[in-house]
Amino acid sequence: MNLFLLFQGCSSKFSTTCRQRKKGKANSKKEKSKKSTPEKDDGLTEKYKRSVLDVAVLKEHLALRTNVARQATTDRDDLKNQIRDLEQVRTQERSDMKDITAAKCQVELKSEREEREKSEAEKDAIISDLQYKLDSMESECEKILHGCLDSLLSQLAETRLHWEEQSTVIHQEVKDTLIDFGINPLLI
């Protein structure tokens, strides 16, 4: 765009300079024409020179426009390449982020799994310890119960012997009393 404005400035200066030249040449040609050539010749020559100058200006203008168009095309291609490169970088960064996130997830999962296994192992150890204590208590209770039952049986056996002795004594006394009254105890 700057080149175009520069060109316009140059072309306006150039055309002003050309006009001044044309005026100067026109004046000199008028003088010459007055001296040697007819007026028709001067008009054609002037038109020819003006056409040549216009063609030169148009060629310069066309060259500048061509250069601007080439530069714009080059800039566009460079920007497309930069966009493509940035998109590739962005895609690679996304892929890297996914890989990093997956790796973090795997590390966290492994850590949680290890913690869970450790916790389960601790719980299993506590359960085993409690089961051992329960088994020990059960066996102690069985021993105590057997001891109490054995003691009770021995006391019952002693008491039974004592009752049997008393019962025998009481039976004998009742028999004796019945016999004293003249009653046969075997008939009763």
Predicted structure pTM score:
0.39
pLDDT value at 65 more than 70 = yes
Residue 109: partners with Cβ closer than 8 Å, 6 or more residues away? none
Using one digit for the tens of pLDDT, what is the confidence trace for 7-19? 454 444 444 444 4
Backbone angles phi, psi at 169, to 5 degrees: -65, -45
Using one digit for the tens of pLDDT, what is the confidence trace for 105-132? 999 999 999 999 999 999 999 999 999 9
Contacts by 30-35 with C-beta closer than 8 Å and gap 24+?
none
Cα-Cα end-to-end distance for the chain: 150
Mean pLDDT of the 162-187 span: 88
Q: From CA 109, how far away is CA 98, in angstroms rounded?
A: 16
pLDDT value at 43 more than 80 = yes
Using one digit for the tens of pLDDT, what is the confidence trace for 53-62? 999 999 999 9
Please provide the size of the chain in residues. Answer: 188
Q: Is 89 helix (H, G, I), strand (E, B) or coil?
A: helix
Using one digit for the tens of pLDDT, what is the confidence trace for 144-164? 999 999 999 999 889 989 999
Q: How many CB atoms lie within 10 A of CB 15?
A: 14
